[in-house]
Structure 1
Amino acid sequence: MPSAEKKPYYSPFDTSFVDNPFPTYAELRAYGPIYKDDNLDFYVASRFEDVKQIARDTTNFSSAQGIFIMKDADGNMVKDSSTPTPRMIEMDPPNHSQFRSLISKAFNTKQMAALEPIVQSISKELIDGLAGRDEIDFNREYGNILPVTVICDMLGCEQKHRAVFKEAADVLVYAFNKSHEEQLAARQALADLLQDQIELRKRQPDQGLITALLNATMDGQSLSADELTGFVSLLMTAGTETTTNLVSNSLAYMHHHPEVKQRLIADPSKIAGAVDEFLRLESPVQGLSRTVVNEVTINGHTFQPGSKVLLLFAAANRDASAYENPEVFDETRPGKKHLALGHGIHLCLGAHLARMEAIVALTDILKRIPDYELHLDRAVRHPVVMIRGYEQLPATIKTPITKIA
């Protein structure tokens, strides 16, 4: 039963929530464990333990019917928003387990450690490229470019196409507020681009992940063309957007909380812990959905099969029942893991990569450009409630950037 008398208003399609959804998230948590959207007939879980329980329960809650709450061209909720091309994030066991085991070796901590010097080199070159400038856009000229360069390198995609890949990935991710039909078109556009790179690696194998996947087998069978395209498409989108938005959100948070910025400048060893706090408080992915498979009761609420449930990770990450002083930024915060990168079998495969890239990025920015000044009055947020970040993040550089030899 709801614990607050007045039912709050919330919609993942209402862009008035883009700038500051957090007061409404607090209202949702206070209202009760489960909130129902009566207009589109779906549910919202906003408390930490409820979100965590549903995320790890793959028996009763499925990802196979899509992980976004979507509307069709007529404004009706789409019951199955999954992609025609299979993607690991939309798989349930046992298929998910097989696919994840196939690709997880490329994302383990050892592989990420080997990638770190490459990320550092890319970051250095990007900041060197800003030398002599007094006006820059952190997002367009750094945050957008760093992760897509890294992921292209990992996959074995040609770097000359990285801008095209990033643009296609952006269209796909930020089509969230568009109709299901428009989203499918965006997904196909990215798949078509990546298919050319897959064909290239069939002719010209290299050491990249696409070549490795072309040679991989599962139960003695090679991956189908659709399976491979789905894999690569997911890596291109998730592998770029998370880091881009994490970096921009971190810079914006420090603008509002300059004491955090000063602590990290004074002691860069705190940046690793700070990245997790930025993730917790400014989650790039605000939430994902599941479809109920069996009748199941969570915290007193019984879900019926076919129902859609939106898991609000960003709301759960500020739950006072899970975190002491949840609104306070504490880079030394012990214990409880946040849910910004998911939970259970769908914990973000690239979590190590996203953290490492953000640590490198913030370390370099705070060391080489410590006195930047953001202009948030001119910044442009993504017009999508479920993805938190910026399209444009203009800044003035007060002390000229110098190139490093």
Structure 2
Amino acid sequence: MVDFGSFNSLAPLLRDDPYPVYAQLRARAPVFWTETEQAWVLLRHQEVSAAFCNPGLLTLDLGQFVADVSQALGDHPVELLRLLDMAIFFRNPPAHGPLRALVARLLALRPQAACAAEVARIARSLHAPLVRDGGLDLMTGFADPLPPLFMGWLLGLADADALWLAKTLSGVPVILNRGASIRDFRAAERRLTEAHAFLRAEITARRLAPRDDGLSLLVSRNDASEAPFDDDRLTALTSFVFMAGFETTSALIGNALWLLLDHPDQCDRVAADRKLLASAAEEALRLEAPIQQVRRRAATDMTLAGQEIRAGQQIVLMIAAANRDPQAYPDPDLYLPGRTGRPVQSFGGGLHHCLGAWVARMEAEIALGTVLDGPRPRLCIDRPGWRALHNQRRMTNLPVQV
């Protein structure tokens, strides 16, 4: 039996299949304190959902943590600190509002129908080698490149530049994981230095010769605001938006394809009734949430599920456990497209609900439909390999054959 006090969500055994452990803990207590992580842990859907909407729970200031570590080691990761300063999900009011408004305007640049048409075009192009060659890695050759190509289209970047930028930035999100080392921080700084040099040049070019694209919109809206960001901060914001638009969405698409193809009976149902595509993507969000957990900090003393939480204490919101709570979802471990019930917690809620949730859902739905439009592929692996990240559920590969 797992001990509450010694529970560690970084434990390697939780990487491949954490759900039995979460179920055991959830059945014993909805909220508990772990000495190992010095935090309260929330596991049930009811408490996690309420916590997301609780204005007394603040996001953690990871930028300050990185600054403190860097000072102790004599480093000064300029680009990394700028990125964290512009990362919406690490900002609390009042700084949170202007950042969120600018990103929301970018995501509203194109009509949703136009966005869907572009995603479908990209998906068909990436899927073509499966039909032509008889095999494809649906993770590295399909799920990984699709979201960055879409984000590149939205910002106005060439396909080659978008893929280069995604490859360059791909190692940066590891610093969001508890347990990241100073080596990870330094590697992220090197990657960001290279990526930000490219983006600064693009921003300068858009200011001199605006285009009908998202990057030009960010520049013009920012420059016209009462308190505009300088180009370094605008570059960091662009970098954050690009990463946020591809990292977890690629994970979602891969997870959704794995679940669909690993359940032939449900795959047949969805193929026969395309109205189930959206629900198939939603079931992937529930069963294999791309983000498994997030942290919050109590701004004041409060009570959660009968437990007294002191101001300053941290709370771990276990999204992956809440999404499989039997009180919220009957037969929670089954993959059932068409399921109805409470909203999944994978995109958060309240002030920090994911702005791009509709984009991620759209991309996953179109990706599933594109694969089902062609010859039915079969999996070449019995189980996926998961990346060595404690809070991100993302496969390393997904080879299939026709």
TM bucket, shorter chain: 0.7 to 0.9
Aligned ranges 1:6-405 → 2 under 5 Å: 7=4, 10-58=7-55, 60-66=56-62, 83-85=81-83, 86=85, 87-108=87-108, 111-175=111-175, 176=177, 179-192=180-193, 193-204=195-206, 205-217=210-222, 220-370=226-376, 372-377=377-382, 379-397=384-402
Supply the distance in 1 between the matched residues of 2:181 and 2:39 (Cα, whole angstroms).
16
Task: State the one-letter code of the partner of 1:22.
Answer: Y
Supply the distance in 1 between the matched residues of 2:41 and 2:232 (Cα, whole angstroms).
32
Supply the distance in 1 between the matched residues of 2:319 and 2:196 (Cα, whole angstroms).
30
With normalisation by structure 1, the TM-score equals: 0.86
RMSD: 2.8
Describe the shift of the 1:51–1:186 C-alpha distance in structure 2 as closer, same or farther (beyond 3 A): farther
Asked if 2 retains the 8 angstrom alpha-carbon contact of 1:44 and 1:312, the reply is yes
Supply the distance in 1 between the matched residues of 2:251 and 2:9 (Cα, whole angstroms).
18
Cα deviation code 1:271-313 (max 9, x no counterpart) = 0122111111111111111122211111111222222221111
Q: Give 3-state SS (helix, strand or coil) of 1:136's partner.
A: strand
Asked if 1 retains the 8 angstrom alpha-carbon contact of 2:249 and 2:360, the reply is yes
Q: Percent identity of the aligned residues? A: 25
Deviation at residue 130 of structure 1 after TM alignment: 3.5
Asked if 1 retains the 8 angstrom alpha-carbon contact of 2:5 and 2:34, the reply is no
Q: Which has the higher helix share?
A: 2
Deviation at residue 335 of structure 1 after TM alignment: 4.2
Asked if 2 retains the 8 angstrom alpha-carbon contact of 1:169 and 1:190, the reply is yes
Q: Give 3-state SS (helix, strand or coil) of 2:316's partner.
A: strand
Asked if 2 retains the 8 angstrom alpha-carbon contact of 1:198 and 1:210, the reply is no
Q: Which moved more, 1:101-110 or 1:167-176?
A: 101-110
With normalisation by structure 2, the TM-score equals: 0.87
Deviation at residue 178 of structure 1 after TM alignment: 5.0
How many residue pairs match? The answer is 384
- Unpaired runs of 5+ residues, structure 1, are 74-81, 398-405
Q: Give 3-state SS (helix, strand or coil) of 2:127's partner.
A: helix
Describe the shift of the 1:39–1:64 C-alpha distance in structure 2 as closer, same or farther (beyond 3 A): closer
Describe the shift of the 1:377–1:336 C-alpha distance in structure 2 as closer, same or farther (beyond 3 A): closer
Task: State the one-letter code of the partner of 1:282.
Answer: E
Describe the shift of the 1:5–1:24 C-alpha distance in structure 2 as closer, same or farther (beyond 3 A): closer
Cα deviation code 1:88-135 (max 9, x no counterpart) = 111112221222122213324973322111111111111223443133
Describe the shift of the 1:195–1:31 C-alpha distance in structure 2 as closer, same or farther (beyond 3 A): farther
Cα deviation code 1:195-218 (max 9, x no counterpart) = 422322322432222221111148
Asked if 2 retains the 8 angstrom alpha-carbon contact of 1:8 and 1:27, the reply is no
Asked if 1 retains the 8 angstrom alpha-carbon contact of 2:30 and 2:44, the reply is yes
- Unpaired runs of 5+ residues, structure 2, are 71-79
Cα deviation code 1:257-278 (max 9, x no counterpart) = 2211111111112101221111
Deviation at residue 359 of structure 1 after TM alignment: 0.8
Q: Give 3-state SS (helix, strand or coil) of 1:289's partner.
A: strand
Supply the distance in 2 between the matched residues of 1:223 and 1:27 (Cα, whole angstroms).
48
Supply the distance in 1 between the matched residues of 2:237 and 2:41 (Cα, whole angstroms).
28
Supply the distance in 2 between the matched residues of 1:121 and 1:183 (Cα, whole angstroms).
36
Q: Give 3-state SS (helix, strand or coil) of 2:92's partner.
A: coil
Asked if 2 retains the 8 angstrom alpha-carbon contact of 1:48 and 1:317, the reply is yes
Task: State the one-letter code of the partner of 1:20.
Answer: D
Instruction: Tell me what 2:76 maps to.
Output: none
Task: State the one-letter code of the partner of 1:261.
Answer: C
Task: State the one-letter code of the partner of 2:287.
Answer: L
Supply the distance in 2 between the matched residues of 1:213 and 1:298 (Cα, whole angstroms).
40
Q: Give 3-state SS (helix, strand or coil) of 2:338's partner.
A: coil
Q: Give 3-state SS (helix, strand or coil) of 2:239's partner.
A: helix
Cα deviation code 1:294-337 (max 9, x no counterpart) = 11111111222222221111111111222233233333233421
